[in-house]
Amino acid sequence: MTAELPEWMTPPRPSGWEADDLDHLPQAPRHTELIDGALIFMMSPQRSWHSRLVGKLTLALEEAAPAGFDAEREMTVRLDRKSRPEPDVLVTTAAYAPDRTWFAPEDVALVVEVVSEESADRDRSLKPFKYAQAGIPHFWRVEEERGAAAVHTYELDTMTSSYVATGIHRGRLKVSVPFDLDLDLTALVP
Domain boundaries, the chain: 48-187
Q: Residue 15: what pLDDT?
A: 87
By three-state DSSP, how is residue 150 classified?
Answer: strand
Cβ atoms < 10 Å from Cβ of 33: 21
Beta-sheet pairing, 32-35 with 138-145: unpaired
Average pLDDT per 10 consecutive residues for the chain, totaling 190 residues: 76 91 90 92 84 97 98 96 97 97 98 95 97 98 97 98 98 98 95
List pLDDT tens digits, range 137-158: 999 999 999 999 999 999 999 9
Q: In the prediction, which pLDDT does 43 show?
A: 65
Q: Which residues contact 114 (CB under 8 A, 6 or more apart)?
A: 50, 53, 54, 57, 88, 89, 123, 142
Strands (E), the chain: 32-35, 38-41, 70-73, 76-77, 89-92, 102-103, 108-114, 138-145, 148-157, 162-170, 172-175, 181-184
Return the CATH number of the domain spanning residue range 48-187.
Answer: 3.90.1570.10
